[in-house]
Structure 1
Amino acid sequence: MKFDSFADFIDMGGYGFFVWLAYGVTFGCLGILILHSLSQKKKVLTEIAKKMTREDRLKESRGKKS
């Protein structure tokens, strides 16, 4: 489909609102998904670090008792 001007491109033959809304919703959802995934990754890595520290402290305390 060829557009004569940039305004025609934005209008998309009268369906511009729906086309651009679909793009907006799609990229908005992808952005939210990426941010949520990064947040969850940070939480998981923090929990793993805490667990490793806790296990190291337990090993040290068991070594001192023997």
Structure 2
Amino acid sequence: MSGSLQSFFAMGGYAAYVWPAYGVFFVVLLIDWLAPQWRQRRVLRELRGRLARQEARKERPHRNSAAST
């Protein structure tokens, strides 16, 4: 059992190429899964900021109307 498991992990002498390829694949897969969540958080944060600025703009007095009177 130990010999077959060891030969499996050795990948016929190509383990130095195969295991890093698996590692890169899973890292890319994880990033591909997380990227939409990060993007959604960023977009929501930007929208909240825009809405807050828009509300603040509505609440402050207009300079043009004060200057014209």
- TM-score over 0.5 for the pair: yes
Using structure 2 for the length normalisation, give the TM-score: 0.58
Q: Which has the larger radius of gyration?
A: 2
Structure 2 spans left out of the alignment, 5+ residues: none
User: Which residue does 2:58 correspond to in 1?
Assistant: 59
User: Which residue does 1:22 correspond to in 2?
Assistant: 21
In the alignment, the residues of structure 2 paired with residue 21 and residue 50 of structure 1 have an alpha-carbon distance, to the nearest angstrom, of: 42
Structure 1 spans left out of the alignment, 5+ residues: none
User: Which residue does 1:10 correspond to in 2?
Assistant: 9
Structure 1 residue 17: Cα displacement: 1.9
In the alignment, the residues of structure 1 paired with residue 33 and residue 59 of structure 2 have an alpha-carbon distance, to the nearest angstrom, of: 39
Structure 1 residue 58: Cα displacement: 2.2
> What fraction of aligned residue pairs are identical, expressed as a percent?
37
1:12 is matched by which residue type in structure 2?
M
In the alignment, the residues of structure 2 paired with residue 34 and residue 54 of structure 1 have an alpha-carbon distance, to the nearest angstrom, of: 32
Structure 1 residue 31: Cα displacement: 3.3
Structure 1 residue 32: Cα displacement: 4.1
The number of residues matched between the two structures is 59
2:13 is matched by which residue type in structure 1?
G
